[in-house]
Structure 1
Amino acid sequence: MGSSTSAEVAAEVERKYAVDAATVLPTLSGVDGVARMGQPREHHLDAVYYDTASLDLTRHHVTLRRRSGGPDAGWHLKLPPVADARTEVRLPLDAGSEGGHGDTDDGADAPPAELLDHVRAVVRDRPLVPVAVLRTRRREHDLLDASGTTVGHLCDDEVEAQSLVGAQEAQRWREWEVELDEGDQRVLESVEPHLIATGATPAAHASKLRRALGDSVSPPEPAPASQLSDRPTAIEVLGAYLVEHRAALHQHDAGVRQGDSEPVHRMRVAARRLRSALTTYRPLLGRQVADPLREELRWLGLALSDARDAHVLRRRLTAVIHAEPPELVVGPVVARLEKELGAVQQHGLGTAVAALESARYFRLLDALDDLVAALPELPQASAPASEVPALVRRDWKRLGREVAAAGRAADADSRDRALHEARKKAKRFRYAAESAIVLRPKQATRMAKAAEAVQEALGDHQDTVVARARLRSLAMTAHLSGENAFTFGRLHALEQWRADRAEADFDVAWRRLSRRRVRRWLTR
């Protein structure tokens, strides 16, 4: 679990420009922010790019290469760009391993597992193969400011590319690349007009690899919610929601593998949102389509739960103990808490990573991809978006039934269980409302926030239920070990007080959510 510390992580901020072979590279000396352009240094760069046979990395805007030549020779993994910036993870050339995961048929080193951990949610258990070979003659100029600081680099690249996918002919082109060093975005902005005035145009492709592969890369996937048409169908609304939270699942995969606590939480939330959406939209999808994937997402959520729950409880109780007057903390309370919950958390992280390394997890991701791709072909694909409020209203009714059941509970334990069920239904209703924000931004957002307040109050209550059970166990263990269990009893009483306060907060939040104006659009 976790990767070694040999990888170098760098932020790469650059812009690329297409240019013909005869265009003269301009001098940028005197451009705003650039006092002087240095003399050229020539590099000969040879790079082999790796991907799955179906080009999954490329379709997700990720590049993986083994480059020799130049000052940054090594293995490079470039993660998806955000505007002009992208994260690059680098390892030395000898980090590749013969016979490792993704070993190639031509005897080349396999891409290092440490790099693949960053994109395992995309690669999964599919082998990696060389998909393109690029040879670049680079003339690189430093761009320096008045103090002599290197603010960026201007590279004049002559590229020869051979795609290994299909029967494509070799390509040759020239491009310019401006990459920041110690400078900021203003350098890119000031340089660009001078390059364009010389005859350059912004590159049509985000990377050399993308240009080399050409039409081999499949079309883009369904649009995110921000790019939906003015009159989307209900299935398109669902598709946008699934794409958004599938991306979150992919994004936090690497952090879980590294043993970080917060990505465990974020990934579990993504899995829950996906599962909840499949439940809400199940009348459109059909049980045969929705239920198998719902069950797999439930399995993933459970695999992540022990690590997350132990982390939350450990943090919660530690904070309470530190807030107590020293004279009320009797015995090795913190040590016992850390020992027990720390062990549970570490075991949970191991369980989570093992799940993410399993074929079952990879097939879950495959099934999610297949569903997103198949949505336009489903029998209900043309159902209008006007059906979405009715789907959300079903979740509201389920929530109402659970809240009523909690009110009828015969004893405290039954009420605790009923409130926990109501919490889960409030969460589903909130997620359903959020999926509809693309249709009714103001109304659905207001409803989702009101549902979130209910969910959070019930979540606080459930946290006290879990904490009290754990504190009883810790107190008994301490007592049997000859320790004073007073502090654990005091903490239990504090948690009971928090439970009462959480119920009061729930009552307020529930009344607010129950107001007709909050849910008015559901009845239209």
Structure 2
Amino acid sequence: MSIEASKAEKILLPRGIATVDSFRMIARSVLRHVVGNEAAVRSCNPDGVHQMRIGLRRLRAAIAAFADLLQHAETERLKRELKWLTSRLAPARDLHLLELRIRRQRAAGRAELLTEIAARRTRAFAGAKAAVQSRRYRALLQDLRHWIEAGAWAERPALKPVPRRALEFASDVVARRARKVMRKSDRLHELDVRQRHRLRISAKKLYYAIGFFETLFEGRKTADRLATFQSKLKDLLDRLGALNDLAVQQRLSRSVAVPSGKPAAATTLPPLRDRGKVAQLLQSAAATGAELAAAKRFWD
């Protein structure tokens, strides 16, 4: 029986909270999001794998946002462990999406290809399940909890001066990340697949940062501006995500071989990459990026 996935809870940072305390509140919440999907991953629920991956990305985004505060060898080690866990979940999610896409197609050899994808998908979900049942995973959770509450980073001076109040810190983080995203999205048509992927990562970090800090930005006008900016950013992420999914599924389809040994995507199915769809998504993403750049700043 599949167990339901757990979504992220809203983070409510109180007015006047200190920067260090805000990190701890954010990290605790995000870690609950990760742990809350253990049972769903063990039951091979695709949504559970997806939500745990989101939780891991959010935790890595929080570490990146507070990088000046968290400089320590232990932080770097934990980042590597989080990357390891993410890598164990990724194949299951990617193959699940590929299977759904192939099922919507009508082409010769589809049944044979689906059989091969299903076998790989089963192995990938077993790998994800094994990861969350491993000693390495349990040790990671224990280390993360200790690091959040009493890590050595808290005893060392920050790499750069960090504002004591979280609001000032949050404004700086959001402003820097927003400039980076808008600068790259302004020339989106010039970016290749890898560069678009990096833009998507930057946009996600900005989106997560806004989610972490949004309750600090008070006032009706500020709230309206934040909601508009967040909506435009989400639209941009949706389009970049669709572009990335097409690229990932094209790469996966080329790697999947039917029992005859022939590369299935090249011999039995039309290419998954729909050039017209890519062009449409690029145009839409560029327009959304322009709207984002024109949106009023809520952090000023």
Query: What TM bracket, shorter-length normalisation?
Result: 0.7 to 0.9
8 Å contact from structure 2 (residues 254, 263) kept in 1: no
Partner of 1:269: 54
Q: 2:86 aligns with which of 297, 301, 310?
A: 301
Partner of 1:422: 199
1:447 partner SS:
helix
**Alpha-carbon distance between aligned partners in 1 of 2:176 and 2:228, rounded to the nearest angstrom:** 18
Partner of 2:146: 370
Which of the pair has the greater relative contact order for Cα pairs under 8 Å at 6+ separation? 2
Partner of 1:233: 18
Deviation sequence 1:10-66 (CA, Å, 0-9, x none): xxxxxxxxxxxxxxxxxxxxxxxxxxxxxxxxxxxxxxxxxxxxxxxxxxxxxxxxx
**Alpha-carbon distance between aligned partners in 2 of 1:431 and 1:332, rounded to the nearest angstrom:** 41
**Alpha-carbon distance between aligned partners in 2 of 1:460 and 1:484, rounded to the nearest angstrom:** 20
List alignment gaps of at least 5 residues for structure 2: 4-9
Asked if 1:255 corresponds to 2:40, the answer is yes
Q: Shift in Å at residue 459 of structure 1?
A: 0.8
Partner of 2:210: 433
Within 5 Å, give how 1:254-403 maps onto structure 2: 254-319=39-104, 321=105, 324=106, 329=107, 331-333=108-110, 335-374=111-150, 377-378=154-155, 379=157, 383-385=164-166, 386-400=168-182, 402-403=184-185
Amino acid at match of 1:492: L
Partner of 2:239: 457
8 Å contact from structure 1 (residues 433, 447) kept in 2: no
Q: Shift in Å at residue 473 of structure 1?
A: 5.0
**Alpha-carbon distance between aligned partners in 2 of 1:454 and 1:362, rounded to the nearest angstrom:** 36
TM-score (norm 2): 0.82
Deviation sequence 1:413-459 (CA, Å, 0-9, x none): xx111111111111111111111112116244433332222111111
Partner of 2:6: none
8 Å contact from structure 1 (residues 392, 432) kept in 2: yes
Q: Shift in Å at residue 270 of structure 1?
A: 0.3
8 Å contact from structure 1 (residues 478, 484) kept in 2: no
**Alpha-carbon distance between aligned partners in 2 of 1:482 and 1:373, rounded to the nearest angstrom:** 51
Q: Cα–Cα, structure 1 residues 359 and 382, in superposed 2: closer, same or farther, change >3 Å? A: farther
8 Å contact from structure 2 (residues 182, 289) kept in 1: no
**Alpha-carbon distance between aligned partners in 2 of 1:432 and 1:484, rounded to the nearest angstrom:** 39
Amino acid at match of 1:439: L
2:198 partner SS:
helix
Greater strand proportion: 1
Q: 1:242 aligns with which of 27, 30, 34?
A: 27
Deviation sequence 1:230-263 (CA, Å, 0-9, x none): 2111222222221221111111001111122110
Q: Shift in Å at residue 289 of structure 1?
A: 5.0
Larger Rg belongs to = 1
List alignment gaps of at least 5 residues for structure 1: 4-8, 10-223, 410-414
Greater helix proportion: 2
Partner of 1:492: 272
Q: Shift in Å at residue 397 of structure 1?
A: 3.6
Amino acid at match of 1:429: L
**Alpha-carbon distance between aligned partners in 1 of 2:260 and 2:73, rounded to the nearest angstrom:** 52
1:284 partner SS:
coil
RMSD of aligned residue pairs (Cα, Å) = 3.1
Q: Comparing 285-294 with 344-353, which one deviates more in the overlay? A: 285-294
8 Å contact from structure 1 (residues 405, 418) kept in 2: no
Q: Shift in Å at residue 408 of structure 1?
A: 4.3
**Alpha-carbon distance between aligned partners in 2 of 1:478 and 1:250, rounded to the nearest angstrom:** 38
Q: Shift in Å at residue 484 of structure 1?
A: 11
TM-score (norm 1): 0.49
Q: 1:468 aligns with which of 235, 250, 255?
A: 250
Amino acid at match of 1:437: E
